[in-house]
Amino acid sequence: MFEVEPYNDDVTLIKTATAMEDGNPIMWAIAYHIGNILIDAGCPNALDDLEKYAAKADVKAVYVTHPHEDHYGGCSVFAPRSTIYACEPDINILKNPPTLPEFFQFVWGQPTPLVDVEKLPSEFSVGNFEFEVIPLPGHWQHMVGFYEPNQKWLFSADAVPLPTRKFIAMPEENIPLMVNTMQKLVEMDIEILFDAHKGPVTSPRQHIQARIDYILGLQERALELHDEGLSIPKIQEALGLEGPWYIGLTEYRFRIDHFIRSLLFDKAEK
C-alpha cells in the first residue's frame, strides 16, 4: 500500500504498508518528504510505488533513522540518485541486510542491499530548515531523530512506542534506555512529534508521558515480583501479559520475556 499525504506546506507523509485481507494496512511505515530530502524511506513491500514516486520526486538525500526494514527498506529505489545517510555503526547493515523471518518479509518485505551509504552528519539544512541529528537510543542502540528547533519539530522514528501499553520487546531493545530517551523528549521543546508509524502527534508531552508511566508502573511491579523470587515466566503470568496471536510467527523477534528481562536487568546508562 502506498499513500502520499501532505501534512502542511513543507512536510509530506509517504505512507507504506502491506494490506490485510480487509484492505486495511497491517501498519503504516511513514517516511517524511521535506524539501528535497526524505527522512526514512518506507518498507520494501511498497517498492513498486516508491519507484514511481522516486522517478518524479526531487529527492537529493535520504536520512535513515535506524536499520529496521520498515525505515530503510525503500532506500534502494532512491539510490544512487539520492545519497543515503545512516549512522556509521549501522552502515554495514544497510549494505548487507539480514534475512528476515518469513513473518516480517510478509509484513514489511526484505530490503535490497545498498551499495553506497554515507555517514550521517551531526546537522544538515533543507531550505530554511536546520536539522540537528539527536541520538534516541533504546529501541535501537544507534537510533537518531531529527530536530528542527525553530519549528519545534522532532522526527522521532521509533523512540516512542506505538501502543500506549508496550510490553513486547525485540532482542535489541533496551527498555530502561528507551524510557530515559522518552524522559529527555518530554523535557525538550517539541510542538510536533513526527512518529514513524503514528504520523504527526500534536500533543507530544502527553503522548510520551502516558507511555513512560505505563512502562515504569510495570517495571515497579516486575521488580517487586523478582525480589520475591519469581521467574520471568511467572512474572509475566502475574502481570497478566499475553501476546497477540501472531507473536509466535515472529520467530522470537517480538517477545514478552525480552521485555521483562530488559525491565529487570538493563540499565539506561552503561
Which position among 69, 158, 173, 195 is part of the footprint of Zn ion (CB under 5 A)? 158
The region of 31-39, 64-72, 228-236, 247-255 touching Zn ion under the rule CB under 5 A is 64-72
> Are 247 and 255 within 8 A, CB to CB?
yes
How many residues comprise the chain?
270
For β-strands 144-148 and 153-157, DSSP reports them as antiparallel
68 vs 258 by CB, closer to Zn ion: 68
Closest CA to 38 of 103, 86, 110, 88: 86
In the complex with Zn ion, which residue's Cβ is closer, 82 or 156? 156
* Residue 69 in contact with Zn ion, rule: CB under 5 A: no
**Residue 83: strand, helix, or coil:** strand
Query: Is 93 in contact with 67 (CB distance < 8 Å)?
Result: yes
**Cis preceding-peptide flag for 80 (omega within 30 of 0):** yes
Residue nearest to Zn ion (CB): 68
Choosing from 31, 38, 63, 68, the residue that interacts with Zn ion (CB under 5 A) is 68
Q: Kindly state whether residue 255 participates in binding Zn ion, applying the rule CB under 5 A.
A: no
**Would you say 122 and 113 are in contact if contact means Cβ atoms under 8 Å apart?**
no
- Least distance CB 56 / Zn ion (angstroms): 28
Cα 7 from Cα 13, distance rounded (Å)? 7
Q: Does 33 bind Zn ion (CB under 5 A)?
A: no
| Min CB(39)–Zn ion separation in Å | 14
* Residue 207 in the binding site for Zn ion (CB under 5 A): no
Interface with Zn ion (CB under 5 A): 68, 158
